[in-house]
Amino acid sequence: MSKIKPVSEATETFTIPTQPPQPPTLLDVDKLALELAKAHRQTALAEAQTAQARAENAELSFRYTVLQIYRKYGLQDNDTIDPTTGTITLGAKEGQ
């Protein structure tokens, strides 16, 4: 016959491994809100880049127009044009 030890005399204990707790997941509505916020951010960034490109284009257009006027009237680097009155000052010095 085999000897069976009573439970109180058992020396080994067994533990059942537990799974680590799962991190919480976003609800569908929160996922959609996050995606919408990302899309708004991307749209704003694209609009800002477009505005920057338009500003650069306008600056280049202005410089080109000034260059064409200087060439048309034979003006030099030290000549100035007053953009509000259209007055040309020949040989203007720095700071005037």
Residue in this structure with the two tokens 């080994």, named with its chain if needed: 12
Residue 53's pLDDT band (cuts 50, 70, 90): very high
Rg (C-alpha) for the chain, rounded Å, is 39
- Contact by Cβ (8 Å): 67, 77: no
Domain layout of the chain by residue ranges: 34-76
So what's the pLDDT on residue 1? Answer: 54
For 2-30, the pLDDT digits (tens) are 566 565 655 666 777 788 888 889 999 99
